[in-house]
Amino acid sequence: MDVQEVVTSLGGVTTRAALVAATTRRDVDVALRSGAIVRLARDRYALPSADEAVTRAHAVGGVLCLTSAALHHGWAVKHVPVEPHVCLPRGRKLAMQRSAGIQLHRRDLTPDDISGIATSRAATLLHCLRSLPFDEALCVADSAARDGELALLRRVAQEARGAGAAKVRRVAALARAEADNPFESCLRAIAVEVPGLAVEPQLTITSVTPHVRPDLVDRELGVILEADSFGWHGDRVALRRDARRYDLLVADGWLVLRFAWEDVMFDPEFVRGILVAVVALAQRRTEVLCPRCGAA
């Protein structure tokens, strides 16, 4: 994958280390010089659309909101918006031609809800967790947690009121700093909706040597879910390393599932169907191995 594709797959914003790991230092430097990516802050890179979003929000006298605000704050999202989300006060008029190229939202914001050209970090989390689909909301929450905002997530959840407050609290409670990227967050969003499946991100498994940290683990069922990206498995060395790791886990008794980015992001029903079937398989296996447990 080229640098822009990697940034897109990582949610529209990422670190230099992650980019270099998936491409090369030279590729990253060339992309930065050419404008294919832009620097948001120290060691934080994004797609050019991040700068374009700021320009468009300025042009209409609005502020970035929802996933556009999340990107502005350096948080990854499931899908980078083609047109930026811009918020204006409810009563302000805007000519139709001036609203072209933006997704316009109407909301009365307080001064505390605004930080520069975007909604504040707290307001952005509240709006995203309340309004976005569950998987998209979890992507933002996980990214904020990686950014050290677990306390803010808890405060936003505690203060949420009205319609959607229960969803805000649920997503905030599920947020995990261990989730590496939106790909993993979306896979976990599907998994937590599957009855009988209880996964945690990046748990270390010490029963194999060398120890491994799969993307998602259900210790009770002995199930491992891996979010497999071609960008990190595209050469012979990586292929051999991962094949050995999966073989060791299977020999150790784990059920290992590997999911492609396209299926997780665009065909969640397929993924869910596989997970439902695997839970049933794991439960049947438990009954065979432990008849007394099955009878209970």
Domain-wise residue ranges, the chain: 1-42, 48-174, 182-295
Task: Using the predicted structure, report yes or no on whether residue 101 has a pLDDT greater than 90.
Answer: no
Task: Using the predicted structure, report yes or no on whether residue 233 has a pLDDT greater than 60.
Answer: no
Report DSSP state, residue 113. G
Work out the average pLDDT over 75-90.
Answer: 94
The predicted structure's pLDDT at residue 294? 47
Work out the average pLDDT over 202-213.
Answer: 91
For residue 80, name the pLDDT band (cuts at 50, 70, 90): very high
Least confident of 166-175, 235-244, 260-269: 235-244
| CA–CA gap between residue 34 and residue 87 (Å, rounded) | 31
Host H or E run for residue 103: strand 103-106
**The CATH number of the domain covering residues in 182-295:** 3.40.960.10
Per-residue pLDDT tens digits for 262-295: 999 999 999 999 999 999 999 888 776 655 554 4
Buried-exposed string 9-44: b where 16+ CB fall within 10 A, e elsewhere: bbbbbbebebbbebbeeebbeebbeeebbbebeeee
Structure tokens at 179: 């989730």
Per-residue pLDDT tens digits for 55-77: 999 888 899 999 999 999 999 99
Task: Using the predicted structure, report yes or no on whether residue 17 has a pLDDT greater than 80.
Answer: yes
Cα separation values, 42 from 5, 53, 271, Å: 21, 20, 37
The predicted structure's pLDDT at residue 275? 98
Share of the chain above pLDDT 70, in %: 93
| CA–CA gap between residue 220 and residue 200 (Å, rounded) | 11
The distance in angstroms from the start CA to the end CA of the chain is 50
Say if residues 236 and 7 touch (Cβ distance below 8 Å): no
Least confident of 108-122, 199-213, 219-233: 219-233
| CA–CA gap between residue 169 and residue 163 (Å, rounded) | 12
> Cα 290 to chain center, whole Å?
37
The values of phi and psi at residue 223, to 5°, are: -115, 135
Per-residue pLDDT tens digits for 37-55: 998 877 789 999 888 999 9
What pTM was estimated for this model as a whole?
Answer: 0.88
Say if residues 287 and 296 touch (Cβ distance below 8 Å): no
